[in-house]
Amino acid sequence: MTQTTTTAPQLDLSDLTLPVGSTQSVRRVLQAWLAKLLHDFSTIPLATLSLANRPLVTRTVQALARGDRKRALQLLRLPTISTPIQCALKQLRPGGDGPALNRWLRESCALIWLELAAQGAIVGQVVVPADGRLPTLLSPTLNLRVAPQPQTEQWLFEAGRLGVRTAASLHWLDLTVLGREDDVIQLPGTTTDRPYHAIVPGVWLAAADNNPLADYEAHPDKSGNAISLGERPASEWVAALQQSFALLDEHLPLLGEEVRWILRLVVPVGWHGEKHLSASYQEAVGVIYMTLHPQPMTMVEALIHEYQHNKINAVFSLDPLLHNAWSPLYASPVRPDPRPLHGVVLAVHAFQAVADLYGAMVAAGHAWATQQGWNDRYKKIIELDHQGALTVLEHAQPTAVGRNYLGEMRRLDAKLQAIRHERWPDRPETSGNLDELAGHD
């Protein structure tokens, strides 16, 4: 395998929660995360690969190492590619699942070659033969899903086109002229559809998901993240998410810019009029799972919340921030179940940003900021955020990188407490947790 080198990043996380002045901090985090992922992928030991996979993975690594580094990193920004790689890397531990590792790497390699084929960046031909079942091909950039049928034997990639070989035939799809996102594609030997819908440039609603962990659920009130539009049209989802981006861009424009650097896919997991549940995974940076809800503040809260998880999850892949991140357990302001400090940090990091949106809307004189339900929610966020921050700041044993992040947490907590005492000096403190709907009357 081609060897590359990487060094531990010296990250300044003093504005990890909320960008100050520019989005340079999150860009540095993203670049460090991508560089580490490229290094880790490029140095997977050959001995861990099946004999059938070795030529494909080796050629893929060589293509990324010898080609345009910027292009390689852009490919890894697609979570359809990076998530299976991340999951495969987790299986390099002793006792890891070797067959799963090989399956996920095979899938990632095929998706890398699909993107390179679409960009015309392939010399010659790359063949992915069936080793068991061929991986389904997914591309948000092409708005394409190509699933093999039982008779499909090979994927073939050449500059500008995808080939499908069966025992009886070979058919090609011109990737350069796919046309509108709703065009129907016929490709014999496959089942093909267009599962992605643009929300804002570079971010898609995804009715397809190849996250191997999507069925694993840590939340006690939720069971997995099966894709579902909740019997709503995709256009309704897109409109609701565009409204969320508009609110974010109007009131926290730098955070809105940040979101576009990391987030790529919003996976729909149903509609519910009485509650809202969302999720994200450390292995799936760039993906969030959301239910649809008619309340705009609920939607924009979830967008910020899960994006913040994506951002800090990229950091966690580089540095744990806390030496005591995983034990013991503490009460969390956002969850009904006890959590390690890692989980409390996730909650505070997310909801300090949500609280800042509320504050910006107050400063802008937004009509919702005059309503009782909206203000009750704002107060509750501030108070429970404070409880979480106190827990972290009292018990945390930070790493060198984590110290300046905790400094930001402390500063933001002081700012929010000043707001609380100014706006609600005589109101009793709130109890409970933040697992409820955002609201306005």
CB 236 within 8 A of CB 199: no
- What is the rounded average pLDDT of the residues 421-433? 73
What mean pLDDT value characterizes the chain? 91
- What is the rounded average pLDDT of the residues 51-80? 95
Residue 440 has pLDDT above 90, yes or no: no
Q: Which residue has the tokens 């093909």?
A: 192
pLDDT given for residue 334 in this prediction: 65
- What is the rounded average pLDDT of the residues 377-381? 96
pLDDT given for residue 331 in this prediction: 77
CB 60 within 8 A of CB 253: no
Distance between CA atoms of 237 and 239, rounded to whole angstroms? Answer: 5
Residue 18 has pLDDT above 90, yes or no: yes
pLDDT given for residue 198 in this prediction: 96
The DSSP secondary-structure symbol of 88 reads H
CB 433 within 8 A of CB 380: no
Distance between CA atoms of 259 and 18, rounded to whole angstroms? Answer: 11
> Tokens at residue 106, please?
């095979």
pLDDT band at 224 (very low <50, low <70, confident <90, very high): low
CB 329 within 8 A of CB 308: no
Of 15-29, 39-53, 119-133, 266-280, the poorest mean pLDDT is in 266-280
Dihedral sign from CA coordinates of 145, 149, 155, 158: negative
Distance between CA atoms of 253 and 44, rounded to whole angstroms? Answer: 39
pLDDT given for residue 216 in this prediction: 61
Residue 61 has pLDDT above 80, yes or no: yes
Q: Which residue has the tokens 């065009």?
A: 183
- What is the rounded average pLDDT of the residues 4-29? 82
Query: Tens digits of per-residue pLDDT, 251-263?
Result: 999 999 999 999 9
Query: Global pTM?
Result: 0.92
Instruction: Please state, as a whole number, how many other Cβ atoms lie within 10 Å of the Cβ of residue 176.
Output: 12
